[in-house]
Structure 1
Amino acid sequence: MAFFVLKGLAGILACAAFMFLYWYGGSEQYRLTGVPVLNYHQVNDQYHTSLTMTTPDFDTQMKYLHDNGYHTITPAQLKAYLTEDAPLPDSRHAYLDDGYIDNYVHAWPILKNMI
């Protein structure tokens, strides 16, 4: 049993180290490029994991960003900014990865109201 506990703790420490390095590297990239990105994986009220945000929480965050002058950009705009020095709006924010159906069912109606 102690072996499994130690193995579990080692796994947790490895994950924590990876997350620290990932976020530290991401913050370094932010200082270099000046493009903040919020990445959302799943938005729903049924399945709750560490990668899931509830619809009301997502709505609250999007309203805050909208009301405080943040704007979205497309991947093409980001590429042009990084490779061609193309201008961007003053603020930018969210990225939904993986294309789960809940992005369309729960997140899109909220985002559509922000346009």
Structure 2
Amino acid sequence: MFRTIVFHEIRPEEEIATGQRDIAVNDGYNDRLPMPLYNNVQNFEQQMKWLQESGYHFLTLDEIKDFYANGTELPARSVHVTFDDCYQSVKKYAYPLLKQLGIQATYFIPTGWVFEEPHAYDAAHSRALSFPELKQMTDVFEFANHTNHFHQRHGISESRIMWAAKEDFIRDIKECNKYKLVTQKDVFGYPFGLYDDQSPQTLSEQGFKLAFTCDSGFNTADTNPLLLKREVISDSLGLDGFKQLFA
């Protein structure tokens, strides 16, 4: 049994306090990042240090694949740390701490969002990183498929993978996997955590072994590996609430 946690933006409290931001991404998609997807730097540091000091094992994707494919036992205290969407604040604030603590994590990247060249840190927007910047972070992160141009939504209940034609979805995830940076080409993160009944079937047909939602809960041997649960860690949770997730 293990819990997967997911972060999006890691920012200082004073930046979070200014409220919701527009995203700034390479393919021009327009959206605003919801406030529950922010976590502050102090929270994040306390949470990561608590996991480490409490003896948690930080899972890799290969370990999770082995668990589901072969029944290989996981350490009793196991956690899988993930990030979505490749925002600048992760490189600025989260990456150095993870590197310092020796914590490995997974990054789900929508490759169409990623810029070719770096930009100066933009506190006023949720700006995506560049490919050169992401490449610098491979000592901490393994990168997996989060679509190419399909990280789009209608409201809070429907993402593009749910309204697009199946063949277009397949074409898009294949485009994402063409990028060398995406080394875990059989692992998928559902954009916004959203999916429908057809989504895992399509991924299975395309050879995907793991796919992650944003449904709450622990993952067990009985969990569908193409509908793995992840807990969104928001600023309001704090350290005490974070600890309760693992109780």
Q: Do they fold alike, i.e. is TM over 0.5?
A: yes
Offset at 1:52? Answer: 0.4
SS in 2 for 1:53: strand
Offset at 1:55? Answer: 0.5
Residues 62-89 of structure 1, C-alpha deviation per residue, up to 9 Å, x if partnerless?
A: 1111100012111222111112212333
Tell me what 1:89 maps to.
75
- Match of 1:92, as an amino acid? S
Offset at 1:41? Answer: 1.8
- Kindly report the root-mean-square deviation, in angstroms, between the aligned alpha carbons of the 2 structures: 1.7
2:42 is equivalent to residue 56 of structure 1 = yes
Cα distance in 1, alignment partners of residues 98 and 78 from structure 2: 13
Cα distance in 1, alignment partners of residues 78 and 95 from structure 2: 17
For structure 2, list consecutive stretches of 5 or more residues without a partner in the other structure: 20-34, 103-247
Offset at 1:100? Answer: 1.7
For structure 1, list consecutive stretches of 5 or more residues without a partner in the other structure: 1-33
Cα distance in 1, alignment partners of residues 44 and 11 from structure 2: 9
Alignment of 1:26-105 (within 5 A): 34-45=1-12, 46-47=15-16, 49-93=35-79, 94-105=81-92
Q: Among all aligned residue pairs of Structure 1 and Structure 2, give the percentage whose two residues are the same amino acid.
A: 26
The answer to which structure has the higher strand fraction is 2
Structure with greater Cα Rg = 1
Residues 24-81 of structure 1, C-alpha deviation per residue, up to 9 Å, x if partnerless?
A: xxxxxxxxxx111121121112245211000111001111111000121112221111
Relative to structure 1, is the Cα distance of residues 51 and 72 closer, same or farther in structure 2, using a 3 angstrom cutoff?
A: same
How does the TM-score come out when normalised to structure 1? Answer: 0.62
Does 52-61 or 79-88 show the bigger shift?
79-88
Offset at 1:102? Answer: 1.6
Offset at 1:103? Answer: 1.6
Cα distance in 2, alignment partners of residues 66 and 109 from structure 1: 16
Q: Looking at both structures, which has the greater relative contact order when contacts are Cα pairs under 8 Å and sequence separation is at least 6?
A: 1
How does the TM-score come out when normalised to structure 2? Answer: 0.31
How many matched pairs? 82
Tell me what 2:29 maps to.
none
The answer to which structure has the higher helix fraction is 1
